[in-house]
Amino acid sequence: MVSGTATPEARSTAPALRFITCGSVDDGKSTLIGRLLYESRLVYDDHLESLGVDSQRFGTRGAEPDYALLVDGLAAEREQGITIDVAYRYFATSARNYVVADTPGHEQYTRNMVTGASNADVAVVLVDARKGVLVQTRRHSFLVSLLGIRHVVLVVNKMDLVDFSEPAFQAIVRSYRQFADTLGFRSVVAIPACAVRGDNVTRASDSMPWYHGPSMMEYLDALQLAPSDETAGFAMPVQWVNRPNADFRGYAGRIVAGWVRKGDAVKVLPSGRESIVDRIVVKDGDPEEAGAGESVTLTLRDALDVSRGDVLCRRDATIECAAQFEATVVWMHDEPLLQGREYLFRQASRTVLATVAPVKYRINVNTLEQQPAERLELNDIGVVELSLDQAVAFTPYASNRDLGGFILIDRLSGATVGAGLLHFALRRSQNIRWQAIDVDRHVRAAQKGQKGCVIWMTGLSGAGKSTIANLVDRGLVAAGRHSYVLDGDNVRHGLNKDLGFTAQDRVENIRRVAEVAALMADAGLVTIVSFISPFEAERRMARALVPPGTFIEVHVDTPLRVAEARDVKGLYAKARRGALTNFTGIDSPYEAPKAPEIHLDTTVLTAEGAAERIIGYLLEAGIIGSLDGRPEPGKAGPPPTVP
């Protein structure tokens, strides 16, 4: 048995309206939704009994029921009295069905709010009548506008705590509208409320006779959303290639735009190959057509190469393919977004590598001012340029959320670190094509009698990387091999002389060198890179640029005390005095390799012995072949003079 006023028989069978409740901490979002569930007869009697017990233990209303506890399901939420996760609840009125997402107000859980808003039609923004419009109110409103929500209900809650004052309500409405008028909402409706008592939530309030508008639910029941465009071009990202047997090959996914019918001409993006829809397969048979929101399996008349992440669309669709974009990013991680660092980019069902360069600006959520920035910190919102390692099919987010939205994922931890919206493809990406070259890496390797590779030497300053790199280079040249050293200090005199030593500059420093090293390896050179390269993420990025087996990570492992005792350049002394900041090992971290191809313990190895180990590895791996009786590495004497 359920409690409340509405009857289940009266509930609508119409498609659900999805809305999100958002705002700052303790504005009453969970209480509002709990009241809605109670009024909609979706609270069973045993739940009400447990609510009474929980209200005594965790509630904030004394002996009265604390309706927020109907929503705050996590134990941590109940104990702390906050919302952490996104709580989805379903209820109905006689007018329509609803799906509501209760999202956290705390700044550190902004990522959860973005998740809840990504599929909503309407945003209910709550404001505490005592506190007015706060920074988090503005941040959530700005995010709501970015995510394409065009209807806002401003609920000024806890009106009982300001004696149901109309002037207090009007002052908050003026403040909010002044900010929201720049965000492009189609409608902003303000409603004074007291969620805990139900005033103006589902029924009109006797305590505020000066308010003549609808209650929140009366407004939502009557709200007419813009109809979906049924003529929009069909698009479906492929989630799965379905091959149950040799006689069936289908492409499963959810249609994100338009309609598809048997016999329609379609194409596959980004390849551009074309075919005809042969069947539309669902659980109950083969319908003649299917539309946006439906999950189907399509078979094609032709045997095409279609993979997960490809997009099926109409032959005449205007969906673009590109690998470079301008995008808005909401950063959701404690570690900042750094220019030049690689992340996984996931859009619909496609995952590729992405590099952010540059960050164009950060947006001040209070003033909407564009502020210069080189990185994005937790909860920052900024506009960036993205470069992907493969082209993806897309539309601007404003046209389609599924094809224009994406998330960024940390490659090492797998954590979602950012969410974003694609604006447009950069024009330069449309003007650049890969030029095929007949002489490839294999031809160049055969010409030199060796395989091109990258020897990536990493370790603390003073570990001996440059000394060992020089000895390896001398040994290889004396043996008639082709090698080159990219040294950290030398490169900063030219290619990277514009970079400093901040975290983002260090990332860019390694990115540039990694690209150059990959080109040299492609030319058939044994490329010896001698850089501190303190971050695992950048070394992993450098490895990904060359074919498997041709990246040799060498950890020149020297304890900090030993490296500091050497201090050939006097850098450790400067760092200890505070005259040099962001110095690895002192006030900037060094992430040691977990599984390098070669580990050199310089407390037991001489520089000559370390060089011998490296060249020995090259011989064993078949990179350089026999040295043909040439001098041993480290014993080659001075390099030959070049006239």
CA dihedral for 132, 134, 140, 146, sign (positive or negative)? positive
Surface-to-core class of residue 89, CB atoms within 10 Å of its CB (0-12 exposed, 13-18 middle, 19+ buried): middle
Do you find a cis peptide bond into 65, omega within 30 degrees of 0? no
Query: Which of 362-380 are b and which e, b meaning 16 or more Cβ less than 10 Å from the residue's Cβ?
Result: bbebeeeeeeebbbbebbb
d(CA 51, CA 344): 43
Q: Give me the helices (H) in 385-522, please.
A: 401-404, 427-431, 441-448, 465-478, 488-491, 503-522
With contact defined as beta carbons under 8 Å apart, do 21 and 32 qualify?
yes
Fill in the amino acid letter for 518.
A
d(CA 376, CA 420): 13
Query: SS3 letters for 63-124?
Result: CCCCHHHHCCCCHHHHHHCCCCCCEEEEEECCCCEEEEEECCCCHHHHHHHHHHHCCCCEEE
Fill in the amino acid letter for 170.
Q
User: Position of tokens 């590729």?
Assistant: 352
With contact defined as beta carbons under 8 Å apart, do 127 and 172 qualify?
yes
Q: Which of 108, 106, 113 is nearest to 144 (CA)?
A: 113
List Cβ neighbours of 288 (8 Å cut-off, separation of 6 or more).
261, 262, 280
- Secondary structure letter of residue 159 according to DSSP: G
Surface-to-core class of residue 582, CB atoms within 10 Å of its CB (0-12 exposed, 13-18 middle, 19+ buried): middle
Q: Which of 438, 436, 415, 445 is nearest to 546 (CA)?
A: 445
Residues in the chain: 643
Segment (H or E) for 297: strand 295-300
According to DSSP, the β-strands at 259-261 and 311-314 are: unpaired
Packed helices 465-478 and 607-620: angle between N→C axes, nearest 10 degrees: 50
Supply angle C-alpha 369, 374, 379, rounded to 5.
Answer: 60
Q: Which of 254, 259, 253, 255 is nearest to 232 (CA)?
A: 259
Helices (H) and strands (E) in the chain, counts: 17, 31
30 in catalytic set: no
Q: Is 199 helix (H, G, I), strand (E, B) or coil?
A: strand
With contact defined as beta carbons under 8 Å apart, do 277 and 298 qualify?
yes
Catalytic entry in 349, 530, 533, 588: 533
d(CA 267, CA 247): 22
List Cβ neighbours of 562 (8 Å cut-off, separation of 6 or more).
462, 602, 603
- Secondary structure letter of residue 622 according to DSSP: T
List Cβ neighbours of 63 (8 Å cut-off, separation of 6 or more).
55, 56
CA dihedral for 575, 580, 582, 584, sign (positive or negative)? negative
Fill in the amino acid letter for 530.
S
Active site residues: 533
